Amino acid sequence: MKKKSKRLPKSKDSLFDRVVTILEQARTNVVRTVNSEMVLAYWQIGREIVQELQKGENRAEYGKQIIKDLSAKLNKKYGRGFSSTNLWYFRQFYVVYSNREPKIRHKACGELVSMEKLHKPCGVLDDLSLAVEKSEALQGFSPLLSWSHYRTLSKVEHKNERLFYEIEAEKEGWSVPVLERQIHSFLFARLLKSRDKDGVLELAKEGQVIKTPTDSMKDPYILDFLGLPDSKQIHESKLESAIIDNIQSFLLELGKGFAFVARQKRLQYEDEFLYVDLVFYNCILKCYLLIDLKIAKLTHQDIGQMDSYVRMFDDLFIAKDDNPTIGLILCSEKNEAIARYSVLNDSKQLFASKYMLYLPTEEELQRELERERRLIEERQQAGDQGDQDSD
């Protein structure tokens, strides 16, 4: 008779998992340490290049020859990875972060112009007096960001904008492609629509902090990842289907803390049925977000409809510990007069934003932001006038 094999106690079965966890963490730490050391090494190499170029003739050909010679020698000794292009990246990295201490933080000179084109900030940043710089908000370099992250960040020209993206990339664990998209879709500028200069500096010091529904809103929303033509012939159902098919990208564009709940959510009141295009829940604000998609210009009827959706949803679905539901109308074109002379002007729960099916140019985004800021200023002036009249 064969003896039955003895099974290890469950407590010992988990030994393997614990050991695997230890080894995987160790490997991650090794990779992270190597990456961090390379970031510091590239900063130091960039410093050496800058200092060497400053010693010589202030001519483009002289600098190119210095870099070419250094590249050839390094590639001969270490193999690939030290092309002239990479050496110029190291130089640019140091110039951008020359005030940083060469260390990993724990939880310009007048020589040659860089070959790498910098990401120019949208003009709205200048309107907010961002030329006045504050002291560097961060010290050293993040152990969570790779050299590729810092190379991408080095292309952002304005320091406050660059600090914001660095903080967000570290906090949110952005991959390099995500970081690049956020930069090229002007996330920083789009979050400035209701912020004054102090609010801008807050973004640069802390990143995007979600405390109120307004903090989570953007205008415009960039939906270029849907791959749809920018045409009014698109039906709302097609726009909705494209969002569902690209829900991960849409959540990224929507912002922090949002989770998808439902599409075409049915709201029943007595014998009447209403359908909300998209429903999300924000885990930070602890509230639902209802989205209504409109391929046409914003109307009073759209706002009234969303107001009804929000009120009915609050009555039918929210739990005791949920905050009031917020509603967002995504439209192809906003109507400033309607936005001003409607409940949107006073409500902290209802919002309307334009969506764009393509990545806008800086000039197009500038116009959108200026239009939004002008509307906000008019609202504030109207509010101040109302206060004076009451006095």
Tell me the C-alpha distance between 307 and 375, whole Å: 21
DSSP 357: S
- Going by C-beta distance under 8 Å and a sequence separation of 6 or more, which residues neighbour residue 57? none
Tell me the C-alpha distance between 165 and 307, whole Å: 35
Beta strand 272-282 with 258-269: parallel, antiparallel or unpaired? antiparallel
Whole-number pLDDT of residue 61: 73
Evaluate if residue 35 carries a pLDDT over 80: yes
Whole-number pLDDT of residue 341: 65
**CATH class of the domain whose range is 213-359:** alpha beta
- Greatest pairwise CA separation for the chain in angstroms: 100
The least confident of 89-103, 184-198, 209-223, 286-300 is 184-198
Q: Which helix or strand (DSSP H or E) is residue 275 part of?
A: strand 272-282
Our CA dihedral for 9, 12, 18, 19, rounded to 10 degrees, sits at -140
In the chain, the amino acid numbered 375 is L
Structure tokens that stand for 119 in this block: 């990401």
The residue among 25 and 248 whose pLDDT is bigger is 248
Q: Please list, residue by residue across 154-180, b when 16 or more beta carbons sit within 10 angstroms of its beta carbon and e when fewer do.
A: bbbebbbbbbbbbbbbbeeebeeeebb
In the chain, the amino acid numbered 314 is D
Burial class (CB within 10 angstroms; exposed 0-12, middle 13-18, buried 19+) of 323: middle
Do residues 220 and 366 make contact, with C-beta atoms less than 8 angstroms apart? no
Whole-number pLDDT of residue 114: 43
Residue whose tokens read 């999300």? 280
Tell me the C-alpha distance between 131 and 225, whole Å: 33
The residue among 110 and 36 whose pLDDT is bigger is 36
Whole-number pLDDT of residue 380: 62
Q: How many CB atoms lie within 10 A of CB 344?
A: 22
Query: Distance between alpha carbon 264 and the CA centroid of its chain, in Å?
Result: 28
Q: Give me the mean pLDDT over the 73-80 stretch.
A: 85
- For the chain, report the end-to-end CA distance as a whole number of angstroms: 100
Q: Please list, residue by residue across 194-203, b when 16 or more beta carbons sit within 10 angstroms of its beta carbon and e when fewer do.
A: ebeeeebbeb
Whole-number pLDDT of residue 179: 95
Whole-number pLDDT of residue 389: 59
Whole-number pLDDT of residue 135: 44
Evaluate if residue 19 carries a pLDDT over 90: no
Share of the chain above pLDDT 70, in %: 77
Whole-number pLDDT of residue 132: 38
Alpha helices in 191-340 (DSSP H): 197-206, 236-245, 247-254, 300-316, 336-340
Do residues 263 and 244 make contact, with C-beta atoms less than 8 angstroms apart? yes
Query: Distance between alpha carbon 213 and the CA centroid of its chain, in Å?
Result: 17
Do residues 313 and 324 make contact, with C-beta atoms less than 8 angstroms apart? no
pTM of the model: 0.78
Whole-number pLDDT of residue 242: 95
Beta strand 272-282 with 287-297: parallel, antiparallel or unpaired? antiparallel
The predicted-structure confidence for 308-345, as pLDDT tens digits, reads as follows 999 999 999 999 999 999 999 999 888 777 766 666 76
Tally the residues of the chain: 391
Tell me the C-alpha distance between 227 and 234, whole Å: 12
Whole-number pLDDT of residue 15: 66
The predicted-structure confidence for 162-201, as pLDDT tens digits, reads as follows 999 999 999 999 999 999 999 999 898 888 766 666 677 7
Which of 257-261, 349-353, 364-368, 379-383 has the highest mean predicted lDDT (pLDDT)?
Answer: 257-261
Tell me the C-alpha distance between 9 and 358, whole Å: 59
Structure tokens that stand for 20 in this block: 């695997």
The residue among 93 and 117 whose pLDDT is bigger is 93
The least confident of 116-120, 254-258, 304-308 is 116-120
The predicted-structure confidence for 98-137, as pLDDT tens digits, reads as follows 998 888 876 533 344 344 555 655 555 554 444 434 445 6
Tell me the C-alpha distance between 130 and 197, whole Å: 7
CATH 3.40.1350.10 segments of the chain: 213-359
Tell me the C-alpha distance between 285 and 245, whole Å: 26
Whole-number pLDDT of residue 77: 86
Whole-number pLDDT of residue 120: 59
- The pLDDT mean for the chain works out to 81
